[in-house]
Structure 1
Amino acid sequence: MEDTQVVPDVIESSPEETLIVKYGSIECTAGETLKPVQVRSPPELDWGADDEAFYTVCMTDPDAPSRKDPKSREWHHWLVVNIPGKNVKDGETLSEYIGAGPPKGTGLHRYVLLVYKQNEKIKCDEKKLSSNSGAGRGKFSIKNFAKKYDLGQPIAGNVFLAEWDDYVPKLQKQLTG
């Protein structure tokens, strides 16, 4: 996370555990470059979860609209809270998954996936966001969200890189209706 400057751009320190992120048969290695077409569906995640605990998962892009000009930092792609154990599908989705979609000509973007262990189930007042719109996703801060809900530091994380490919226009069309 230090190599890709996720620390300090997104979080204050690296999580102790590497989050296992699988997009179909592709297992994401930290810092690896993937294509937006490869990450269009939510990944399978695995970490050393306690079956009795609740977790929060977030995927965020600190490079919106570009790493050189991150004026919309962070653009969050996925946010799920109250996940029992590691059963992400059974959690409460605040922001439905949207895959990587860096605008043409903006270079590589970092996509950061983080897991936080909750002290208890939380009640969030954020508006729920669908995958059909990009509204309400920019200028997010997972650091501030974690502070608001007393989540502490992430316990697991991973990061991959992606840049524009032929799939991105389809994703952009989905987001603008």
Structure 2
Amino acid sequence: MTLVAPIAMTSHSWSQQVIQERETKLYSPIRDALLAASIIPDVLDDFTPTFPLLISYPSTHTTVSLGSYLSPDAVRSQPVFEFHPFPFTPDPDPSPSPARAPQPDHPTKFYSIVLTDPDAKSRKHPIWSEMCHWVVSNISSPGYSSLQGHIGRNSDSFTGTTLSYTLTAQILKSYLPPSPLICTGYHRYVFVLLEGDAATACNVSAPRERKHWGYGGVRLGVRNWAKE
């Protein structure tokens, strides 16, 4: 499984250059924010973002954004998520008809969303990092779709309706609400979207443990799990 990477394909070199320049402008703020917070390289190797990942907590009307500061009370309930290929323009008509519903962008791919804490016990002393807080896998290719509904708190799977088809995802690690210890400062809780080949979806397994994701070393975690 790998971090999603951009692919711009066209038959005209001039058009390809325009597409790449436009995508670079879209990707740069995300990558810059990850570098500024040292998510790259502490959690992830350097990469070019492909999908904007939208996370929210409906129970507290909280939306997660890059670098946002959130209280533990705001993130106690399991979040919902949505992602779209770049470039993405929201559809002004939220009620699509079957004739105009977009098709999956990468039908041979599947996706996983994870939440990890590289600052457990603290950023200064990350002796428990990374700490695995959530793993959802076997998510179908998104196309230009959005996930409706949410995962049940005690459920191992969920079904969400998209613009053109149904997603059935598997929870490999249940949601563990972020709850940093007192006097350990701010923690960087990182949501990561991973892409894999659909043929290998059934081979994805849950991390062996939450602490270090089961790899037994400081700052080992999602990067190691993704390589498997």
Instruction: Give distance in 1, aligned partners of 2:192 and 2:57.
Output: 16
Gaps of 5+ in 1: 129-135, 149-177
- 4+ residue stretches of structure 1 with deviation over 6 A? none
Which of 17, 26, 34 lines up with 2:70 in the alignment?
A: 34
Residue 127 of structure 1 and its aligned partner are, at CA, apart by 6.1
> Is 1:73 aligned with 2:123?
no
Which of 196, 203, 206 lines up with 1:118 in the alignment?
A: 196
Paired residue for 1:92? 170
Gaps of 5+ in 2: 1-33, 86-103, 152-157, 159-167, 214-220
How do 1:15-164 and structure 2 match up within 5 A?
A: 15-24=49-58, 25-48=61-84, 50=104, 52=107, 53-85=109-141, 89=158, 90-120=168-198, 121-126=201-206, 136-140=209-213, 141-148=221-228
Kindly tell me the number of residue pairs found equivalent between the two proteins.
Answer: 141
TM normalised by structure 1 equals: 0.72
Which protein is richer in helix relative to its size?
A: 2
Query: Aligned Cα RMSD in Å?
Result: 2.0
Q: Matched residue of 1:73: which SS? A: coil
Render the CA deviation track for 1:37-57: whole Å, top value 9, x for unaligned.
111112111111647332111
**Does the CA contact (< 8 Å) of 1:81 and 1:122 recur in 2?**
no
Render the CA deviation track for 1:90-111: whole Å, top value 9, x for unaligned.
3121100111110111010000
**Does the CA contact (< 8 Å) of 2:172 and 2:205 recur in 1?**
no
Question: What amino acid does structure 2 have at the position aligned with 1:39?
Answer: V
TM normalised by structure 2 equals: 0.57
Which protein is richer in strand relative to its size?
A: 1
Question: What amino acid does structure 2 have at the position aligned with 1:115?
Answer: L
